[in-house]
Copies of this chain bind each other. A is one copy, B any other.
């Protein structure tokens, strides 16, 4: 398989440029991309060092140029990188230029993404959401369910915790979660303690085949991990969702980001961040 070297460069965290670059690369199959992120390239010295590393890679593999995705607030860094012999893609300036023209304003060329005030507010909201979510993980406490934006329910190991935490961290959502255990699954009635919050419930389901794998890694050779046990639990949970009009998502082939943003969208949750 063809191998291409890919670099993500940023004067900040590199999270945006990585995420954009990966979406672009996902459009090309049959190629092995070897990715490297260089974050906090925020001085001329670091930009030169990055360009030298890329140049060396370009010379070592003259038949296929390295691919560079970058975002710099300072344009002079861009021109250093452009001389590295790679295919370079300026992921920020490409959009800043038309916007500057539209707005009739000059860009500030300042590094960093947000104002301090908004940042402090966002930070506080995130911390509050995280505290809430950690204190209401896995049904350990239900005493502030009235404050929840959403309460995820599902069988053990169906992805409730990571999805709740992503909702809290990325969107500032108060996300509780409650595990449907054996005693909740003797019939398809909603557990008594959840009935007051039925409008906040959102179900997660998972393919029994996948569930048995996940549980098996945690507790090998247990009844808990057996396929027929997983099938029975998932089947009852699904009927419980249906009979109580609880919307649900199948986590089997989705990433945590996808689950969280689908739930945000589907449950019409407010955007806090």
Whether A261 contacts B39 by the Cβ 8 Å rule is yes
Question: What does the 1/0 interface line of A192-230 toward B look like (CB < 8 Å)?
Answer: 000000000000000000000010010000000000000
Q: Name which residue of chain B comes closest to A111, CB basis.
A: B26
* Docked complex: A141-176 residues within 8 A CB-CB of B: 159, 161-162, 165-166, 169-170
If A28-B103, A103-B31, A105-B31 touch, whether A134 touches B116 (CB-CB below 8 Å) is no
Nearest-CB residue, chain B, relative to A259: B13
- Is residue A136 contacting chain B, with contact meaning CB distance below 8 A? no
**Is A53's beta carbon under 8 Å from chain B?**
no
Contact B169–A258 (Cβ < 8 Å):
no
Tell me if A113 is interfacial: C-beta within 8 Å of chain B. yes
Whether, in the assembled complex, A268 has its beta carbon less than 8 Å from a beta carbon of chain B, the answer is no
A159 to B95, CA, bound (A): 34
Compute how far the CA of A23 lies from the CA of B90 in the bound complex, rounded to whole angstroms.
13
Chain B residues with Cβ below 8 Å from A19 are 15-16, 19-20
Q: A22-B113, A24-B92, A92-B24 are in contact. Are A67 and B12 (CB under 8 A)?
A: no
Min CB–CB distance A152 → chain B (angstroms): 15
Q: Is the CB of B26 within 8 A of A112?
A: yes
Shortest Cβ gap from A154 to chain B (Å): 14
Contact A119 B255 (CB under 8 A): yes
> What residues of B have a CB within 8 angstroms of the CB of A16 in the complex?
16, 19-20, 23
Stretch at the interface among A77-85, A123-131, A178-186, A237-245: A123-131
CA distance A126 to B259 in the complex (A): 14
Report the bound CA distance from A131 to B161 in whole Å: 9
Supply 12 A–B pairs (Cβ within 8 Å), ascending by A.
Answer: A13-B258, A13-B262, A15-B19, A16-B16, A26-B114, A27-B96, A27-B107, A39-B264, A39-B265, A67-B102, A119-B253, A130-B165
